[in-house]
Structure 1
Amino acid sequence: MTAWNGTDLSGIGAAEELDLESERSDGSLRAPVTLWVVRAGDRLYVRSVKGVDGPWYQGTRTRHRGRVTAGGVRADVTFHDAGPGEYADVDAAYRAKYGHYTSIVEHVLTDAARASTLRLEPR
């Protein structure tokens, strides 16, 4: 696992939204998708409201690589499936950061959304 530097971790973790571009099989980037991003400890995570069937999530499965832009940071990343042991911390981070969106935040706290949790690591 590659660690984020403190500035990038803080910048991305504090951003309200993140733009994610996943890599196609030919190495080109797909169009950016805007997502919520959370920080749990020294790690960054995203989830698909539609779970593993979500189109942007499916795009990450091709090469498990892409680019994110948030909080003044643009970084090439790898996408890693988060394990069930990480879900509780990620749930708590979503509630803490986006809980004021009461009717929306619950959509990223379902079992289907949890199954799509990706950890973003710099490359």
Structure 2
Amino acid sequence: MAKRRLSGPRTIWVVRVGDDLYIRSVNGPGSDWYRGTRANGRGSVHAGGVTKDVSFEDADGAVNYQVDAAYRHKYGRYGAYIIGAITGPQASCTTMRLVPRVEDAGN
């Protein structure tokens, strides 16, 4: 079965908290990209020459403080405007955990 892409590639800012990877929609829950993740629940991530299929899982709100800190640490050099956007309430309500996906051999 051929994989169906929801849209073209998007740049996402990923952070790690413990052993988990998290992403957010800087444009909030109304963005096309975020709505696509909600509708499909899955996608592909390409980084460092490696592509992995993933599922998007809603993050427990309790992790938001740690995710904010990870964004500030990793991307702080981009300035207050960017960090304010990715750690603000519009983005933090879209926090998702990336979960590696393993397809059944029969699919």
TM surpasses 0.5: yes
Q: Which runs of 5+ in 1 are unaligned?
A: 1-25
Q: 1:47 aligns with which of 24, 47, 54?
A: 24
Q: Give the number of the structure whose alpha-carbon radius of gyration is greater.
A: 2
User: Superposition RMSD on alpha carbons, in Å?
Assistant: 1.4
Task: Report how many residues are paired.
Answer: 98
Find the counterpart in structure 2 of residue 90 from structure 1.
Answer: 67
Whether 2:57 is the aligned partner of 1:80: answer: yes
Secondary structure of the equivalent of 2:70? helix
Taking structure 1 as the reference length, the TM-score comes to: 0.75
Q: 2:4 aligns with which of 10, 28, 47?
A: 28
Secondary structure of the equivalent of 2:4? coil
Whichever residue aligns with residue 8 of structure 2, its letter is: A
What is the distance in 1 between the residues matched to 2:37 and 2:52? 15
What is the distance in 2 between the residues matched to 1:77 and 1:122? 5
By relative contact order (CA 8 Å, sep 6+), the higher-ranking structure is 2
Find the counterpart in structure 2 of residue 117 from structure 1.
Answer: 95
What is the distance in 2 between the residues matched to 1:113 and 1:51? 5
What is the distance in 2 between the residues matched to 1:52 and 1:83? 16
Q: Structure 1 residue 105: deviation in Å?
A: 1.4
Quote the sequence identity (%).
49
What is the distance in 1 between the residues matched to 2:44 and 2:12? 13
Q: Which runs of 4+ in 1 moved over 6 A?
A: none
Whichever residue aligns with residue 75 of structure 2, its letter is: Y
